[in-house]
Every structure is written in C-alpha cells, then in structure tokens.
C-alpha cells in the first residue's frame, strides 16, 4: 500500500470502508510521520497519542459492526493549543499555562471527536493567539514546511504546519484577525473563518471575544467544508453562539448535505454571472508584485468563466487596522485578567502580599507581546480615554460593517490578497511590531464585520530562493458561508492545476 500521508478525507474514508486499512493504522502512520519529521517543523506542543489510538479503536469497532463511523471517522486532526481537550495540557503557547491541564472538552473538540476524528495532538500558536508569525511563543518557533527558515504565519501556525506537512489531514485554528487565513496562505492550504457565532467558542481560551472564531484548515475546499459542517451549531454554553441562524435568515446552511451537493462538473456553470468584487484598497504598492500578479491571474480565470469581475473600494476598510488593535487589545486586557496566579496560571511563590503575587506571576508568566497588548488595552479602556479610543473604535467598527453590507448588495463575493507578502524569514519582523501588524491588513476587516472569509492557494511564487505558496482571500456576507464555500470550490476547480505539496509532505508520500 502506498503511503497514507497526504490523503484527503474522502480517500482515507474509502480505504477504511474497503477495509484496506484500519483507523489504528492511519493514526500510527501519521504519528510516525510526526515523530520523524516534526523536529524540523515544531508543529506540535504536545501529542495526544493515547487519545488518538483510543478514538481510532472506536472507529474500527464501528466499522466492524457495520456502522457509519461519522463524517470524520478515522481522519487525523491537529487542534490549536488554545482549544481544550479534557485531561491534556492547554498551554495557549504561554509559560503562564505551561502546567495547566484542561478540565473539559471544548464544544468544537467534542463535536470533532463525536464525528470520529483522531486527535493527534495540540498544535503550537502565538501566545494567547496574539501574533501573525507564530514567533511570540515561549516554546520552539514552528517552521514553514516549504522553507524551514521561514515563518508559517500566525497565530495558528501549528495546525497549519501540521496540515501542510501531512501530519494530519485537517487542523483547527482560531481566527481573531486572520489567524487561520494568514497561516493557510503562507503554508499553501485552505483555511476558513466562519461567520461569527456559527461555531461555539466554549472551551476556546478567549483572546478578543467579539472577534474570535474557530475554523478549519485542510488541503481542499471540500475537506474544509466537511470539517466546518461538523463544527457548526448552536451551543447553550456560549452566549454568542447563534440560535437557528439559517432557519431565521433563510440562508443555506453549510451542512454536510450542502457539502455533498458540491460537484466538480458544475463549477464552471456556477461561476457564470457570479459577481466578484476585487477589493481595490488592498491592491496598493504595499502588496508584493508577485502576489498582485497571482491575483490578476485569478481575476482573468474568473472573467474567462463568465464571472462579472469589478474593482470596488470598501469605505473605511483601511481603518480596520487601528480599530482592530484598540478593540482586540481592550478585550484581551479584560480576558487575560484571570491569569493572575490565583484563579489561573503559574504562581510566583512567597510574595509579600496579594498585589505582589499578581504582579510577579504575570510578570514571569506572560511574554512581551502579551504584556504590550494588555497595556494598550488597559489604556484604551481607562477613564478619560475610553471615549476617545474604545468608543470611537466601536463606532468605526460599525461603519466598516455597514460598508460591507452595502458592498454585498452588489457582489456575491469579494476577492483580495491575504497578506502583503509571502512567508517571511524567521526574525525578519520581530523587532518591528507595526510592520508585523500590517500583515493582517486584509484579514482583520472580516472579523470586525463578523463575516466569513476563506483562503485558497492560488499559485506558487518563485521570487525567493525556494518556492513559496500564495493564497487568495475570498469574503462573503454574513451567514453566506455556503456561498463562500461554493465560490471557493468552483474557483479551486478552474484555477490552473497545481499540487500544493510542501517538501516535508512530499518526502513522506
Ligand atoms: N495577528 C492578529 C493579532 O495578533 C490576529 C491574531 C488572531 O487572529 N488570533 O491580533
């Protein structure tokens, strides 16, 4: 039998159903690949080997009994380490939680496990999901499997590296301002941030609660969509989880039935007459020429298939960056207050008094970027500055959302680059937080507006010493997740054929 590495969900499921392979063998083959190769890529912080094997045995038993093992039955999975798995470490990439063991499963994890996924491990991230390159961590910096001198993108670097290296078929990240989409772009895979409120945040360590969304990584749009269909759903444990959103809005639910209706042969028809806006605000000189030329190629392919492609400016979209860094840091400063050495987090012993205990525990436990954000957020919320910063940012956030609402009256989907450049060298931007923040200029607006966004690989750049993938970003209106997936799926079929296999993945196939 050829290698089990790098297979899509459908391929692994077929092998299982035909009894050519067992789920235990799938788990073992992927864990072996991790053990052999992850010393060069550092995708995982902790393996959950026992859990994976137990889940694999349960899948095998179901198949033996003739039962359907679930939409993800036997599919290897990597979870970002800010998503709780009961009885396993939950570090959030931070020293302060180095020894913390999660007491329960996140709803997202629960759903994936019930669908038969095999959880191989907890994947690395920027500390508390704050970052764009995954260099803000007290643990080893993960490496881009296309070029291990480069970053994989952040903050969900680990699950992206896992999927792009073939350690797992799917990965789960969280996206507050681009943390699924940027690493998907840098690693040459698909990543999706769903509409805010579609996936429960229960058990996801909060960074900025009004922006955080859990979503999938995969190597095809179909696999990302299958994973999303499992993650979806109302959850009484998350107050911001949407109640019956599709029934109420009449929009199509991106459920499994919908995913099964996606047909390769219908892709070209679907694109005919589709109205696609290219966000002109993100085609400035700040975007690398390589990325611009890939986006031009995509525009042409869309046009050749009868889509109506027009440039559009989205008013206020450029204000997304300052607005985001006020809203996100303000919420972070409140959310991270619980890590004080008493309620949560490592405690510095023998303090003189309780304030010193808090201060010393936080001083020792948090990294520099997390401290910077807590200070910025506390400042923006402090009396006297609240109106000038936080309130103003919320007002502009509203304007951004309304701009998108108006733009989506004219377009079915919006197209833009994901980031101004391809994956950069480790260390290249660490001393310049502003340039680092600019990596997310094109991804942040979707979080502020609560709309879904998806990144799809669209080409390979040869401008650097080693080939690097380029990802395009598609956006759709609120609850139009099915439209977004359909558009991405169709585009994936008609773009020039290209296999996005990183060297780490290729070596294992
Ligand atoms: N890079 C952005 C930040 O640091 C987004 C992070 C994220 O989406 N979690 O805030």
Q: Indicate which CATH number applies to the domain containing 167.
A: 3.90.1300.10
Tens digits of residue pLDDT in 260-270: 999 999 999 99
Is 216 touching ligand 1 by the criterion CB < 6 Å? no
* Structural domain count of the chain: 1
Contact criterion met (CB below 8 Å) for 319 and 400: yes
Q: Looking at the domain assignment, is residue 411 inside a domain?
A: no
What contacts 481, CB < 8 A, 6 or more positions away? 194, 195, 198, 228, 254, 452
Q: Looking at the domain assignment, is residue 49 inside a domain?
A: yes
CA distance 183 to 216: 12
Is 184 touching ligand 1 by the criterion CB < 6 Å? no
Residues marked as catalytic: 80, 155, 179
Q: Looking at the domain assignment, is residue 420 inside a domain?
A: no
Is 93 touching ligand 1 by the criterion CB < 6 Å? no
What is the position in ligand 1's atom list of the atom closest to the CA of 176?
8
Q: Which helix (H) or strand (E) holds 107?
A: helix 107-114
What is the position in ligand 1's atom list of the atom closest to the CA of 156?
9
Is 177 touching ligand 1 by the criterion CB < 6 Å? yes
Contact criterion met (CB below 8 Å) for 447 and 182: no
- Report how far ligand 1's centroid is from the alpha carbon of 179 (Å): 5
Contact criterion met (CB below 8 Å) for 211 and 493: no
* Ranges of the chain with pLDDT below 70: 1-2
Ligand 1 atom 10: the closest Cα is on which residue?
A: 130
The b/e string for 52-87 (b: 16+ C-beta within 10 A; e otherwise) is bbebbebbbebbeeeeebbbbbbbbbbbbbbbbbbe
CA distance 76 to 52: 8
Q: Which long-range contacts (CB under 8 A, 24 or more apart) does 223-226 make?
A: 223/8, 223/9, 223/169, 223/170, 223/190, 224/170, 224/190, 224/191, 224/192, 224/454, 224/485, 225/254, 225/258, 225/259, 225/262, 225/485, 225/489, 226/9, 226/71, 226/72, 226/256, 226/259
| Cα Rg of the chain (Å, integer) | 22
Residue 2 pLDDT? 62
Contact criterion met (CB below 8 Å) for 509 and 9: no
Q: Looking at the domain assignment, is residue 303 inside a domain?
A: no
Is 37 touching ligand 1 by the criterion CB < 6 Å? no
Is 328 touching ligand 1 by the criterion CB < 6 Å? yes
Task: Work out whether strand 275-279 and strand 308-312 pair parallel, antiparallel, or are unpaired.
Answer: parallel
Closest CA to 215 of 181, 188, 245, 169: 181
Q: Looking at the domain assignment, is residue 16 inside a domain?
A: yes
Q: Looking at the domain assignment, is residue 482 inside a domain?
A: yes
- Report how far ligand 1's centroid is from the alpha carbon of 266 (Å): 36
CA distance 296 to 283: 10
- Report how far ligand 1's centroid is from the alpha carbon of 355 (Å): 30
Please identify which residue in the block is written with the tokens 């039998």.
Answer: 1
Q: Which string of DSSP letters, residue by residue, matches 270-339?
A: HHTT-EEEEEGGG-STTS-HHHHHHHHHHHHHHHHTT-EEEEE--TTGGGHHHHHHHHHHHHHHHHGGGB
What is the position in ligand 1's atom list of the atom closest to the CA of 130?
4
Contact criterion met (CB below 8 Å) for 243 and 234: yes
Task: Work out whether strand 453-461 and strand 413-417 pair parallel, antiparallel, or are unpaired.
Answer: unpaired
Q: Looking at the domain assignment, is residue 279 inside a domain?
A: no
CA distance 195 to 215: 10
Contact criterion met (CB below 8 Å) for 84 and 109: yes
Closest CA to 146 of 473, 417, 499, 469: 469
- Classify residue 239 by burial, with Cβ atoms within 10 Å: 0-12, 13-18, 19+: exposed
Q: Tabulate helix, strand, coil % of the chain (nearest 5).
A: 45, 15, 40
Contact criterion met (CB below 8 Å) for 450 and 480: no
Closest CA to 122 of 160, 89, 155: 89
Q: Looking at the domain assignment, is residue 242 inside a domain?
A: yes
- Report how far ligand 1's centroid is from the alpha carbon of 419 (Å): 13
- Report how far ligand 1's centroid is from the alpha carbon of 467 (Å): 26
Q: What region does 362 belong to: left with phi over 0, alpha with psi -120 to 50, or beta? A: alpha
Residue 1 pLDDT? 47
Please identify which residue in the block is written with the tokens 């020792």.
Answer: 364
Is 183 touching ligand 1 by the criterion CB < 6 Å? no
pTM, full prediction? 0.98
Q: Indicate the Cα dihedral angle 13, 159, 224, 288, nearest 10°.
A: -140
Residue 470's domain comprises 2-270+456-508
């Amino acid at each position: 039998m050829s290698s089990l590495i790098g297979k899509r969900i459908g391929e692994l499921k077929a092998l299982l159903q035909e009894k050519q392979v067992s789920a235990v063998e799938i788990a073992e083959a992927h864990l072996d690949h991790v053990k052999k190769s992850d010393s060069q890529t550092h995708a995982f912080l902790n393996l959950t080997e026992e859990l994976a094997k137990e889940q694999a045995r349960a899948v095998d038993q179901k198949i033996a009994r003739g039962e359907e093992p679930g939409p993800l039955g036997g599919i290897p999975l990597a979870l970002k380490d800010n998503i709780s798995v009961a009885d396993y470490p939950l570090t959030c990439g931070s020293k302060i939680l180095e020894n913390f063991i999660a007491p329960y499963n996140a709803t997202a994890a629960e759903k994936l496990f019930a669908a038969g996924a095999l959880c191989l491990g907890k994947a690395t991230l920027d500390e508390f999901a704050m970052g764009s390159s995954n260099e803000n961590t007290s643990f080893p910096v993960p490496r881009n499997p296309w070029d291990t001198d480069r970053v994989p993108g952040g903050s969900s670097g680990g699950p992206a590296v896992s999927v792009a290296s073939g350690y797992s078929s799917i990965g789960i990240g969280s996206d507050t301002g681009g943390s699924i989409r940027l690493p998907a772009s840098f690693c040459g895979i698909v990543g999706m941030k769903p509409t805010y409120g579609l996936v429960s945040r229960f058990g996801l360590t909060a960074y900025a609660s009004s922006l955080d969304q859990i979503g999938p990584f995969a190597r095809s749009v179909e696999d990302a969509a299958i994973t999303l269909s499992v993650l979806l759903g109302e959850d009484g444990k998350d107050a911001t989880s949407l109640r019956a959103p599709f029934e109420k809005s009449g929009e199509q639910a991106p459920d499994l039935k919908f995913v099964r209706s996606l047909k390769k042969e219908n892709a070209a028809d679907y694109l005919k007459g589709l109205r696609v806006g290219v966000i002109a605000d993100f085609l400035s000189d700040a975007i690398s020429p390589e990325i611009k030329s890939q986006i031009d190629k995509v525009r042409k392919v869309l046009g050749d298939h009868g889509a109506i492609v027009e440039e559009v400016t989205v008013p206020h979209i450029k204000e997304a960056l300052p607005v985001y860094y006020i809203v996100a840091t303000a919420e972070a400063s409140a959310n991270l207050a619980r890590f004080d050495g008493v309620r949560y987090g490592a405690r510095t012993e023998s303090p003189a008094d309780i304030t010193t205990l808090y201060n010393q525990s936080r001083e020792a436990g948090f990294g520099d970027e997390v401290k910077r954000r807590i200070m910025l957020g506390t400042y923006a919320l402090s009396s006297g500055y609240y109106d000038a910063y936080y309130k103003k940012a919320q007002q502009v956030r509203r304007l951004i959302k309304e701009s998108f609402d108006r733009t989506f009256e004219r377009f079915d989907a919006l197209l833009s680059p994901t980031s101004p450049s391809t994956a950069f060298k480790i260390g290249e931007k660490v001393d310049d937080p502003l340039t680092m923040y600019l990596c997310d200029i094109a991804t942040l607006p979707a979080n502020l507006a609560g709309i879904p966004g998806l990144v799809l690989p669209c080409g390979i750049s040869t401008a650097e010493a080693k080939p690097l993938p380029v990802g395009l970003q598609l956006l759709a209106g609120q609850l139009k997740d099915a439209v977004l997936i359909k558009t991405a799926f169709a585009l994936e079929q008609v773009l020039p054929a290209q296999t996005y296999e990183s060297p780490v993945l290729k070596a294992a196939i």
